[in-house]
Amino acid sequence: MKRICYMGFVLCVLAVASCDGAHSKASPDSDAGRLGAQAAAAVIATDHADTMALQQAILEAKAIQSQWAMKGDSAAVRDFEEGFAQHLMTNDTSLYHAIFPHRQ
């Protein structure tokens, strides 16, 4: 059931990543990267059994990231995603693998 909740997020992440034409390295130390890590911490802090709350936390993270996407700032979008992913990988590996299966 959790996987279904993650699928929308994963599809959005893949869509943003596939639209990016630049090949520069993302910096999770940027403001966007720090916000990504904070958003990941909020997702991790959510009760994983409450799929509605978990989905809401993921959507809130995507809403933050979409601010840069709407401005066309692909570097900030990548930085946010990288900060989000690195925080998940460090603090909740199973959730990281569920959200980012393409990185395994």
Work out the number of other CB atoms within 10 angstroms of the CB of residue 3. 10
| DSSP label of 25 | P
Confirm whether 34 is domain-assigned.
yes
pTM reported for the whole predicted model: 0.72
Count of structural domains, the chain? 1
* pLDDT for 103: 82
Q: Consecutive sets of 10 residues in the chain, 104 residues long: mean pLDDT of each?
A: 50 43 53 95 94 94 95 95 95 93 84
Confirm whether 20 is domain-assigned.
no
Q: Which H or E element spans position 21?
A: none
* pLDDT for 75: 94
- What counts of helices (H) and strands (E) characterise the chain? 5, 0
Confirm whether 21 is domain-assigned.
no
Confirm whether 48 is domain-assigned.
yes
d(CA 17, CA 47): 28
* pLDDT for 25: 53
Confirm whether 65 is domain-assigned.
yes
Confirm whether 37 is domain-assigned.
yes
Structural domain harbouring 37: 2-15+26-99
d(CA 73, CA 4): 29
Confirm whether 67 is domain-assigned.
yes
* pLDDT for 20: 44
